Structure 1
Amino acid sequence: MKRLYGVTTAMVTPMTADQNIDMEGVEKLTDFLVDKGVDCLFPLGTTGEMFKLTIEERKKIAEKVIDSNKERLTVFIHAGGMTTKDTLELARHALQTGADGIGVVSPVFFGANDVEIKNYYKEISFALPDDFPIYLYNIPQLSGNDLSVSVVKELAEECTNIVGLKYSYPDFPRLNEYLNATPEDFSILTGADGLFLPAMAMGCDGVVSGVSGVFPEPFVKVYELYSNSEWEEARKMQASANEVISILKAGANMSYFKKGLDLRGLKGGSVRNPQQNISSQEEFQLKEQLNQWMHENSNINLSKQKFEV
C-alpha cells in the first residue's frame, strides 16, 4: 500500500470572487505542485476549507485533482466528514475515483470518547478494501477531540488498511510516543510545517504542509538536503521555510495562502464566508514581506518575480 512521505502538500481550494469552486484553478495548482517537485498531494483538508464545502463540491474537487495529476504523484483525498455516513460516502468516492488513499480527521466539535473514536475509525476501515490505505488525522486544537496514543496503537494493530497518522499539533513528546507505540511500518507525518526537519530527525516520514502549497521550493529543498544527509544546509533551509510560514500566518487565515497563489500567477481567489479576504493594507504588507524573503532566498529556484507594492 502506498504511504505519504516527504513534502505532502495540503492543497487550498481555489475559488472565484463569488466563492464558487474554480476548477481551472484546481487544475493549475495541481500542475504547479507537480512541476515544483512535491512528493504527494492532500486536498480537501483543513487548508482546503473542507467543512465549508458541500459533499458534492468535495467529490468534484477530488475528481479534478486526481484527473489533473495523471498519476504523477501520490494523491490521498481527505474524506473526513461531520458524520460517519458522510465520511463513508466521501471515502468510497475517493476509492472509485482512483485516489491512492484517504485521510480521515477525528470526529469534530462534538465531544467523542476513546471508544467512540475507535468505533468510528473501525467502521470506516472495515467498510473499505484491506489494501486501500487510510491515514488518521489528529488536529485537536481544531477538532476538539484528541487521538490518544492508546487509540492510535490499537487501530494500527487491528486495522490492516490504517497505515499512518497526520499529527497537526506541535508536540514533540507526543510525536515520540506515537512513534514508539506503533509498528515500524506505521507512517507518521507532522502537520506542523515548522517541524518538518526535526520531525524527520525523530523518525517521521515527512510533513503535510499547507505553506508548501504556495511556496513549495524551500520544503522540497529541505527534503532533498535531508535525504542527502546535508544536515547543516537542511537546518538553514528549514529556517528559511519558517520565515515564509510566518509571513503567510501559518494558515491561520487561508486568505494569505490564496493571495500568495494569486501573486504567483495562479488562482487562489477568495475564501468562503464567514472568513474574509485580507484587506488592501494586509496585502501591501504581504507583498513587501514576500519580496524581501524571495530576494534573500534567490538560491532555491524561486521564479524571478517581484510583487508590485
Structure 2
Amino acid sequence: MSNSAKLQGIFTPNLVPLDAQGDIDEGELRRYTDWLIDRGVHGLYPNGSTGEFTRFTVEERRRIIEIMVDQTRGRVPILAGAAEANVKETIKACEFYHGLGVRAVAIVAPFYYKLSPESVYAYFAEIGRNTPVDVTLYNIPMFASPIDVPTVQRLADNFEKIVAIKDSSGDIPHMIRMIQAVRPNRPEFSFLTGWDAALMPLLLIGCDGGTNATSGVVPEITRKLYDLTTAGRLDEARQVQYDLVTLFDAMLYSAEFPEGFRAAVELRGFNMGTGRQPMSENQSTDLGMLSKTLQCLLAEQGFTGQPVGGCPVQANTVDRTEVDAIVQNVLSELQRRGMA
C-alpha cells in the first residue's frame, strides 16, 4: 500500500490556456493554477480529457506538468494524466512524472483500438509491474476500451501501486459493483467520479471524490456540493446539484467538448486563447451564442455580470423530479445495506 494520503476530494481536470501562436501560455496557466487552489479544490488533474491531452505533444504534456508542479509548490496534490499511445511510452511518462513529485498518475485504458477485458488487464498489469508512481485507472468508455468490474478487481488485488479508479461513465450501478468488489481487500483504494451531473448520488454510494470539469469553471460550487454531501446536509446539497447540472449540460452539450468549458473559463477572467481543434464558421457563431448563455448562468450564481441586453427569464431546465428520484433510490439502497 502507498504511504501517501488517499486520493479524495475534488480534483480539477484543468484546461490549458494558449497564447496567440497556439502555444502553452505559461503565465496564464500559472495564474489559473493559483486561482483554482485559492478557491478550494483539493487537487489538480492536468493532461486529462478536459485538458485535451491528445492535442499536445509529449514534450508539451511534460511541460504542462512541470509548470503546475512548480506553481503548486505542494499546496495540493497533483494527479497527472500519463496516458500515451503505447505501454512503453506510458511507463516512461510514469517515470518522468514520478521524478517531478506528483502524487499519482491517471492512465486511460488503451484508445483507438477496442480491446477485450483480458487485453485491458494485460496493459495495466504491465504498468503495475513497472511504475514507480501510484496509478489511477481511468475508465471513459465513450473514448477508450472500457474497464469492467472483474478487471478492476484483479488489478486492485494484484498491484499495490494501482490505488484508485476514475470512472467517467456516470453509471451508478457500475460504481456500486466496483466498490463492492474492491473495498473488502483494498479499503484504501479510491473511487473518483468524472460525471458532474451525478456527483452527489455517487458520493452517497461511496465515492471518495471526483475529477469534475465544472470545478475548472465554478470551483466554489463543485467544492460546496462535495462539502454539503459529505456533511450529510442533503437538502442543501440537492439544490447545489440542480444548479451544477444546468451549467454542466450547457457546457457539455452546446459545443464540441471541451470548447464550452473553455468559453466559460474565459468568462471567469482568463485568456484561454483559441483551442487547437479548428472550428467552422457556424461553430464559431454557435460558440458565441453559448458564451452568452453561460454568462447568464454564471450571473445567476453571482460570478459575473449579465451580458449586454440582459438575460431572458427562463424556466429551470433541470428535471428535479428525476434527480430527486436518483437520490432517494441511492438512500434507500444504502439503508437496505445497513450503510445509512
- TM-score with structure 1 length normalisation? 0.91
Structure 1 residues 146 and 92: alpha-carbon distance in aligned structure 2, compared to 1, 3 A threshold: same
Counting only pairs closer than 5 Å after superposition, residues 175-254 of structure 1 correspond to structure 2 as 175-183=175-183, 184-249=187-252, 252-254=256-258
Give 1:255's match in structure 2, choosing from 246, 259, 272.
Answer: 259
User: In the aligned structure 2, how far is the partner of 1:287 from the partner of 1:308?
Assistant: 12
For structure 2, the 5+ residue unaligned runs are 310-340
Structure 1 residues 39 and 139: alpha-carbon distance in aligned structure 2, compared to 1, 3 A threshold: same
For structure 1, the 5+ residue unaligned runs are none
User: In the aligned structure 1, how far is the partner of 2:141 from the partner of 2:108?
Assistant: 10
Find the residue that maps to 1:200 and give its secondary structure: helix
Alpha-carbon shift at residue 157 of structure 1 (Å): 0.6
CA contact under 8 A between 2:18 and 2:24: conserved in structure 1?
yes
Structure 2 residue aligned with 1:78: 81
Alpha-carbon shift at residue 252 of structure 1 (Å): 4.5
Find the residue that maps to 2:142 and give its secondary structure: helix
204-213 or 111-120, which moves further after superposition? Answer: 111-120
User: In the aligned structure 2, how far is the partner of 1:246 from the partner of 1:115?
Assistant: 35
Give 1:269's match in structure 2, choosing from 269, 273, 284.
Answer: 273
Structure 1 residues 280 and 124: alpha-carbon distance in aligned structure 2, compared to 1, 3 A threshold: closer
User: In the aligned structure 1, how far is the partner of 2:292 from the partner of 2:131?
Assistant: 48
User: In the aligned structure 2, how far is the partner of 1:200 from the partner of 1:33?
Assistant: 21
Structure 1 residues 286 and 273: alpha-carbon distance in aligned structure 2, compared to 1, 3 A threshold: closer
User: In the aligned structure 1, how far is the partner of 2:98 from the partner of 2:286?
Assistant: 41
Q: Higher Cα Rg: structure 1 or 2? A: 2
User: How many residue pairs are counted as aligned between the two chains?
Assistant: 302
Structure 1 residues 127 and 235: alpha-carbon distance in aligned structure 2, compared to 1, 3 A threshold: same
Structure 2 residue aligned with 1:281: 285
Q: Deviations over 1:144-199 (max 9, x none)?
A: x1111111000001100111100111211111111111023221111111111100
Is it true that 1:50 corresponds to 2:44 in the alignment? no
Alpha-carbon shift at residue 283 of structure 1 (Å): 4.2
Kindly provide the amino acid, as one letter, of the partner of residue 240 in structure 2: M
User: In the aligned structure 2, how far is the partner of 1:151 from the partner of 1:126?
Assistant: 16
User: In the aligned structure 1, how far is the partner of 2:14 from the partner of 2:49?
Assistant: 9
Counting only pairs closer than 5 Å after superposition, residues 1-309 of structure 1 correspond to structure 2 as 1-129=4-132, 132-143=133-144, 145-183=145-183, 184-249=187-252, 252-274=256-278, 279=283, 281-298=285-302, 302=303, 304-308=304-308
- TM-score with structure 2 length normalisation? 0.83
CA contact under 8 A between 1:11 and 1:47: conserved in structure 2?
yes
48-57 or 21-30, which moves further after superposition? Answer: 21-30
Q: Deviations over 1:97-133 (max 9, x none)?
A: 111110010010112222222221122122123xx32
CA contact under 8 A between 1:263 and 1:307: conserved in structure 2?
no
User: In the aligned structure 2, how far is the partner of 1:228 from the partner of 1:174?
Assistant: 24
CA contact under 8 A between 1:55 and 1:86: conserved in structure 2?
no
CA contact under 8 A between 1:12 and 1:49: conserved in structure 2?
yes
Structure 1 residues 81 and 275: alpha-carbon distance in aligned structure 2, compared to 1, 3 A threshold: farther
Find the residue that maps to 2:143 and give its secondary structure: helix
State the structure with bigger RCO (CA 8 A, min sep 6), 1 or 2.
Answer: 1
CA contact under 8 A between 1:139 and 1:169: conserved in structure 2?
yes
